[in-house]
Structure 1
Amino acid sequence: MSHSKQPLTYRDAGVDIDAGDALVDRIKPLAARTMREGVLSGIGGFGGLFEVPRRYREPVLVSGTDGVGTKLRLAFDWQRHDTVGIDLVAMSVNDILVQGAEPLFFLDYFACGKLSVDVAASVVGGIAKGCELAGCALIGGETAEMPGMYPDGEYDLAGFAVGAVERSAIIDGSKIVPGDVVLGLASSGAHSNGYSLLRKVLSRTGAQPGDDFEGQPLADVVMAPTRIYVKPMLAAMAQFGPAIKGVAHITGGGLLENVPRILQPGLQARIDQSAWPMPALFSWMQREGGIDAQEMYRVFNCGIGMVVVVPADQADSIRALLDAQGETVYVLGEISPQSDGAPQTVVL
C-alpha cells in the first residue's frame, strides 16, 4: 500500500477551523444582546456559567430541549434561515413556561456537513432574537462541522433551555376541577409541528413559496416563527398566582394530546370548535389534503398555541390581562367530569 507524502490539514478533511472562528466572532455580539441578571460567563468558554437570581427563595430548575423538525426541510429548499432559530428557542422556552418557570438561559447545537458562516450566522441571529423575546440569555452552544454527515446546504438544530420557578409556584394541573374555564392563546401559524404532513399537502398541490396566500407570500405564512408566550404568561402568573391552574403548550399531538397532559384522571376538557376562527393555513391544508377534522386537531395546533385553565370567576380578568399584553385569547370551553371510556379532551 502506497502513501502520499503530501501533508494533510483539517481543511483537507473538510473542516474549516477559520470559518468556525469567523462564526464565533459573528455570534458574540448577537449573544451579548441577550445578557441578563445571573450571567457569569458567555460565549467562548468551555461552559456557560449562570447564577440563579437571588430573588428566588426556593428555586426549582426546569429544563427542556427540542428541535425544529422537518420545518428545516423547507428552510433548506426555500432558503429561509432567519426565523428557524426563533422556532428553536420557542419550542423549549414555551415547554418550561407551562410549569411556571421563567426561562433563564439557552444553549444551541448547530451541526452541518460544510459550514457556511452566513447561513449559520443567520440561524443564530434567529436564536438570539428568540432569546430576547423570551428574556433568557444565550450563554453557549456548539457548532459541529462534520463532513459526510449532512448533504451540502443542510444542517440540524437542537436547543436546550433552563428556567427556574419557586417551589410553591409550580404549575402542575393538580388543582384543576370541573367548572374551570379553558382559555386559548392564538398561535402564529403551524409553529414547528406537523410539517411532514404540511409538506405532503404542499407537494400534492404543487404550491410554490412565492404563491399568493391571503395577500402574503405562501412562504411567509408557512415559515412564520413559533410564537413565544413567555413574557405575557409570566405577567399573568405574577398577578394571578394560583388562579393559573394549568398550562399546556400545543405542540406535537395538537389539542387532543397535549391538553390531557395537565389533567388529572376523571377530568375532561370540552372544547367548542366554534370558539375561535380556524386560520386560513389550516383550513387550506384540511381542504387540499382531505384531512379529517380529528386528525387536524391531533396533528396541528389549529390556531391555538397555548391553553390555560383558570377558575370561572377569574377568567375574564386573566383574559383581559393577556389581551393587554398583546395576546389574542379565546374562551375555548370548560372542564367537566370524564365519563368512563371517554377521552380527556374533546373538540365538539
Structure 2
Amino acid sequence: MILETHPASIASLENGDLCSKIAYTHALSTSAQAFQTSDGPYAGIVEIAGAKIGITSDGIGTKAEIAERLKKYDTLGFDLVAMVADDLIASGVRPLYLSNILDVNTLNPQVIDELMQGLAKAAIYARTQIVGGEIAGLSSRVQGYGEGTHFNWSATAIGDLLCDKPISGIDVKTGDLIIALKEEGIRSNGLTLARTILQNQFGNEWHLHQGWGDYLLTPSRIYAPFVVDVITKASIAIHGIAHITGGSFKSKLGRVLKATKLSALIDHPFAAPAPMLALQELGAISDHEAYRHWNMGHGMLLLVPALAADKILSFALKQNLQAQVIGSIEQLSKPQIVINLQTGKTVIYEY
C-alpha cells in the first residue's frame, strides 16, 4: 500500500510555513525608516550606508540526534554552514561572516571540540569567517538520545549582495533551463519522517542497522562557493535559485516561481540516491510525498538563461560538482511544478 500522506509530517510542513509567515509579519512591523529593506527568497536584504547586506538564520534541526546516536560530531558543521551559506547565495548574497549558538545540556569539551573543528573546516570551505558565537549550558532544558551530550545548533550568516538586486525569481523567463546540483545525503531536512520510518522498521536502535545512521549523518554539500564563482568569475546572470531544504520542490522551487507564476517542467531529474528510495519503500511513501519532504538527489536548482547552461555545466565539472539540466521553465495553464520521474510516473505540485 502506498501512503499518499503521513498526516503528522504534512501538518508539520504546513505549520512550519504558517509559523514562518507569522514571524515574518511581526518582523515587518520593526522596519526602521533609516534602513532600506527588501526580500530575497531566502534572506533579508538591508542597505546600510550604500552597502547591500544579506542576513539569514537557520539550524541543523534533528540531525543533532543522529550525531548523538553515533557519537560522531565532526561533520555537523558542514550541515550548519550549508543551511545558512546556501540560503544566502540563493538570494544572490555572498556569505562572509557567521555566528552560531550551541545550546547543550552539559558542557563536554571533547564534543565541543569536534563540533567546532567541523564548523571551522566548513566555514573555510564556504569562504566565510566565524566571528562570534554562544555556548549555553541549559541542563535539562535540552534533551536528546541516550546518555551524554544533547544539543541544538543554529547559526546566523551575513554577506554582501553580488548583484544590483536580490535573486528573487522575478527575472525567471519562459525557456530558462533548470540546472540541478547533485546531493547524495538528506541534508538537514526530512529527518523526522526518515527517523519515524526507521524507528517503526527497526526499533529504537535503528541507527545500527544497515548503515542507516551513517547515511543520515552524511554531511551536506555546500554550494555557495560554486555559485559565487558562477556569478563573479563566469559573469552569468542567474534568474532564480532554489535551495532544496524543508518542503523540498513544492516549497522551495515554488517560492522562486511565485514571482512570475510560471511553471517548471522537470523531465530529466537526477536518479534519487538508493537510500532515499529504500526509505520510501520502507515507509510506503508515495512519490508525491517523497519529493515534498526530501531532496531526492537535488541539493540546489539554478534557473538560468538557456545560452548560459553549457558554461555553467563546464564550470561545475572543473570544480568536481555533479550538475545537469533537469528541465525548463514553461507557461502552463496554471502555476505548477511537474516532475517526470525515470520510473515513468509523474509528480505534480500546484503552488
**Coarse TM-score class (shorter-chain normalised):** 0.7 to 0.9
Measure the CA separation in 1 of the matches of 2:160 and 2:273: 34
Indicate conservation of the 8 Å contact 1:266/1:338, yes or no: no
Equivalent of 2:60, from 68, 75, 90? 68
Equivalent of 2:188, from 183, 192, 214? 192
Within a 5 Å distance, the mapping from 1:263-342 to structure 2 comes to: 263=257, 264-272=259-267, 274-340=268-334, 342=335
**Cα distance, 1:166 vs structure 2:** 3.8
Measure the CA separation in 2 of the matches of 1:87 and 1:310: 26
The residue that corresponds to 2:200 in the other structure is 204
The residue that corresponds to 2:104 in the other structure is 112
Within a 5 Å distance, the mapping from 1:213-292 to structure 2 comes to: 217-263=211-257, 264-272=259-267, 274-292=268-286
Indicate conservation of the 8 Å contact 2:99/2:133, yes or no: yes
The residue that corresponds to 1:85 in the other structure is 77
Letter in 2 for 1:142: E
Measure the CA separation in 1 of the matches of 2:226 and 2:236: 16
Is residue 150 of structure 2 the alignment partner of residue 154 of structure 1? yes
**Cα distance, 1:251 vs structure 2:** 0.3
Measure the CA separation in 2 of the matches of 1:249 and 1:325: 19
Indicate conservation of the 8 Å contact 1:186/1:329, yes or no: yes
**Cα distance, 1:283 vs structure 2:** 0.6
Equivalent of 1:95, from 87, 103, 127? 87
Letter in 2 for 1:271: I
**Cα distance, 1:335 vs structure 2:** 0.2
Indicate conservation of the 8 Å contact 1:198/1:285, yes or no: yes
Indicate conservation of the 8 Å contact 1:94/1:229, yes or no: yes
Residue aligned with 2:213, SS:
helix
Per-residue CA distance 1:92-127 (angstroms, 9 max, x = gap): 000001122111111110111211111111111111
Letter in 2 for 1:171: I
Indicate conservation of the 8 Å contact 1:194/1:252, yes or no: yes
Measure the CA separation in 1 of the matches of 2:266 and 2:51: 34
The residue that corresponds to 1:127 in the other structure is 119
**Cα distance, 1:87 vs structure 2:** 0.8
Residue aligned with 2:113, SS:
helix
Unaligned runs of 5+ in 1: 1-56
**Cα distance, 1:169 vs structure 2:** 5.5
**Cα distance, 1:243 vs structure 2:** 2.9
Is the deviation greater in 294-303 or in 67-76? 67-76
- Are the structure 2 counterparts of residues 88 and 103 from structure 1 closer, same or farther at C-alpha, using a change threshold of 3 Å? same
Residue aligned with 2:140, SS:
coil
Measure the CA separation in 1 of the matches of 2:88 and 2:269: 27
Per-residue CA distance 1:55-77 (angstroms, 9 max, x = gap): xx953111111111111122212
Indicate conservation of the 8 Å contact 1:58/1:167, yes or no: no
TM-score, normalized by length of structure 2?
Answer: 0.77
Indicate conservation of the 8 Å contact 2:106/2:137, yes or no: yes
Indicate conservation of the 8 Å contact 1:65/1:159, yes or no: yes
The residue that corresponds to 1:165 in the other structure is 161
Measure the CA separation in 2 of the matches of 1:183 and 1:219: 30
Is residue 174 of structure 2 the alignment partner of residue 178 of structure 1? yes
Q: Once superposed, what is the RMSD of the aligned Cα atoms?
A: 1.9
**Cα distance, 1:265 vs structure 2:** 3.3
Indicate conservation of the 8 Å contact 1:176/1:245, yes or no: yes
**Cα distance, 1:242 vs structure 2:** 4.9
- Are the structure 2 counterparts of residues 144 and 298 from structure 1 closer, same or farther at C-alpha, using a change threshold of 3 Å? same
Residue aligned with 1:148, SS:
helix
TM-score, normalized by length of structure 1?
Answer: 0.78
**Cα distance, 1:208 vs structure 2:** 4.0
